Each structure stands twice: as C-alpha cells, then as structure tokens.
Amino acid sequence: MCVLFGALQMNLVDWFKGMVANRRGDELVDPLIDVQPSQRSLKRALLVCLRCIDLDVAKRPKMGQIVHMLEADDFPFRSVSLPMLSSSMIYKTKHM
C-alpha cells in the first residue's frame, strides 16, 4: 500500500518504520480517541507492529501471538470485560 504526501509517494510500511525510527511514534496515535495510550502501551503496540511487518515472513507472529503480546493490564482498551472462553474454545480457535 502506498500513501501520497503531496508529490511524494511512499510505501506505508517504510513510512511507519521511519516514524518509529525517528521516535515519532506518538504522532501515529489518533489524537481524537478519548483515551490516549500510556507510553508503555504505545511502545508495546509499536513493537508488535514492527514484528508484523518483518521482511522475513517466518518471523512474523500469528494472530494468537499478537493478541497475547497486546494483552496487558495497562493496555488502554482492556476496560471492557470480555466473556471467559473455555480451554477447548481457545484450542479450536488457535488450530483452525
């Protein structure tokens, strides 16, 4: 996917990597969301994103691994309680 900035066309992945490399990760967060993430949560999310766009496809995490990496007590959107899943449901989901 490419993004157009005036006359400059840039690959979205390269743009994202540049933002992170230049320590501009705060600018990647939508300023209109009610609850801004903590710096720790933002760093975790950015690191997960970087793993997801690794050039080596074999090193990219699976969806279940991504969910696990993002689950944390201080993640800003965890205030919504989720229904408990039985271990058999989790196993079926992971192995589909």
The string of pLDDT tens digits covering residues 37-59 is 999 889 999 999 999 999 999 99
User: Residues, the chain, total?
Assistant: 96
Q: Where are the alpha helices (DSSP H) in 1-96?
A: 12-21, 39-52, 63-70, 87-94
| Cα-based distances in Å from 10 to 24, 34, 45 | 17, 30, 22
Residue 3 has pLDDT above 80, yes or no: no
Percent of the chain with pLDDT over 90: 54
Nearest residue to 25 via CA among 5, 6, 47, 10: 47
| pLDDT tens per residue, range 71-82 | 865 555 544 444
pLDDT of residue 70: 86
Gap between the Cα atoms of 85 and 87, Å rounded: 6
Q: Looking at residue 92, what is its pLDDT?
A: 46
